Structure 1
């Protein structure tokens, strides 16, 4: 059974989900291309808090000593925040140029695909992916891989940008509402270059309903589904077909990894 977490059944993180937080995060989005450290720095802090809160709810422990695998970790903006929390942070990124884009060095960084994670079953305590699923040709294969590599009882957090939300087209928005290919051509005509996130190659149309369908079929125990950048009093939007595609912006699915079948 799917459930969008509301204040009636609020996990620890819901207390942080205020309107002030929402405005701060959404306001920083304009720097994603021009000054990524501003955007990703704030997002890193928020992500570490989200993970720490849900991990504490799930296990009764903080992140000290926990192994956190970040699928699509890019250049490692999140590393510092998880180090501060006492976790062992491991980013996985398929693009070598993206790994070094910010000039950061993250010990243990792994080059690999989220759709075929180079880790054994149950290898990590936490597996997260932030704003990556929309850049993957098969995001639900990636989500299955995230569940596979997480130990039984460990935490899986998938957060992604919804295509028909205001940020679905990334830098090509709002023209993505007229189609991803049209938006890419429009961007190139205006700026004289291809967008960083090219529709059909590194950007794909991933809807909120698709995330709900994955949540319904995964063997993991789904704990929460909510819109990441909304205050907690607006989390109920996830329950509304069609409207959620336009208004949710970023969908978060939080799950607890299942016990492994015998012989695995």
Structure 2
């Protein structure tokens, strides 16, 4: 397995302290998205550096919104591009930055093998055909490059996003409850911009895709010693929170 620089790899340690810190940041996703996404971005760069040296690499962030991850990737020396289908999301941090593309994650407007790293964080659950998007991410990745796909698991505690934990009683019911309580629809509307994506579905896709080698499947926020939860059907759907699939393009 190719690794990044010693400093980047050493700085990223999947221990319990990291898990507690990142899970704590979820409290700020709605109220302070810059804080939340900046923390996730910094962690992502450290994690990705264990698979690929980011310096000089072309990175496509699928569903990158206003580019919260831009600073972290550029600090690692990457040429960063962000794609989103929602102009409102793209301008959420102010002006739309250069290197930003409006497009559909299920039909990426990039040629085959055009990026070294195709990255997506907490986006797959927001598209109606998530595994088409995963296939597209692999299509635009160069041979030897990495597709890093991370998504919020539906049956995890945060599966309903701001409607959690009521999503356990059904997505539509949780959506109606939120609207009645707050006087407006949630940002993540079940059946329109939020869909149930499971651990099992991710494992099935990883097994059936033929475009590359699966180099990692792991619960994103867990310490290394807790990764065995993925071997426990049923429990893994609740305990995983967020699943990461890492594929090296053949």
TM-score (norm 1): 0.89
Classify the secondary structure of the residue corresponding to 1:101: coil
**8 Å Cα contact 2:12-2:43 kept in structure 1:** no
Q: Is the 2:112–2:142 contact (alpha carbons within 8 Å) kept by the matching residues of 1?
A: yes
Residue 166 of structure 1 corresponds to: 157
Is 1:222–1:253's contact at 8 Å kept on the other side of the alignment?
yes
What residue is the counterpart of 1:222 in the other structure?
214
Contact kept in structure 1, 2:112 and 2:140, CA below 8 Å: yes
Aligned length: 241
For the 8 Å contact 2:12–2:47, the answer to whether it is kept is no
Matched residue, 2:131: 140
- The structure, 1 or 2, with the larger RCO (C-alpha pairs under 8 Å, 6+ apart) is 1
Report the more deviating stretch, 227-236 or 98-107: 98-107
Contact 2:12 2:46 in 1 (8 A): no
Q: Which residue of 2 aligns with 1:243?
A: 235
2:77 matches 1:86 = yes
Structure 2 CA distance for aligned equivalents of residues 151 and 40 of structure 1: 27
Offset of 1:13 from its aligned partner? 8.3
Distance across 2 between alignment mates of 1:13 and 1:97 = 37
1:120-135 → structure 2 map (5 Å cutoff) = 120-135=111-126
Runs of 4+ residues deviating >2 angstroms: 12-15
Match in the other structure for 1:50: 47
SS of residue paired to 1:182: helix
Match of 2:22 in 1: 25
Alignment of 1:36-47 (within 5 A): 36-47=33-44
Alignment-derived partner of residue 204 in structure 2: 213
* Separation of aligned partners in 2, 1:214 and 1:158: 11
Deviation for aligned residue 1:198: 0.2
Match of 2:86 among 81, 95, 108: 95
- Contact kept? 1:75, 1:101, Cα under 8 Å: yes
Q: How does 1:70-81 map to 2 (within 5 A)?
A: 70-81=61-72
Matching of residue 191 in structure 1 with residue 182 in structure 2: yes
SS at match of 2:27: helix
Q: CA deviation at 1:104?
A: 5.0
| Cα contact 2:14–2:222 (8 A) shared by 1 | yes
- Separation in 2, partners of 1:193, 1:54: 42
Contact 1:13 1:54 in 2 (8 A): no
Structure 2 unaligned blocks of 5 or more: 1-8
Distance 1:170 1:13 in 2: 32
Q: Aligned equivalents of 1:241 and 1:104: distance in 2? A: 45
> Which whole-Å CA distance do the structure 2 matches of 1:231 and 1:192 have between them?
39
* Corresponding residue of 1:108: 99
When the two chains are superposed, the root-mean-square deviation of aligned CA atoms in Å is 1.3
Deviation at 1:15, TM superposition (A): 6.1
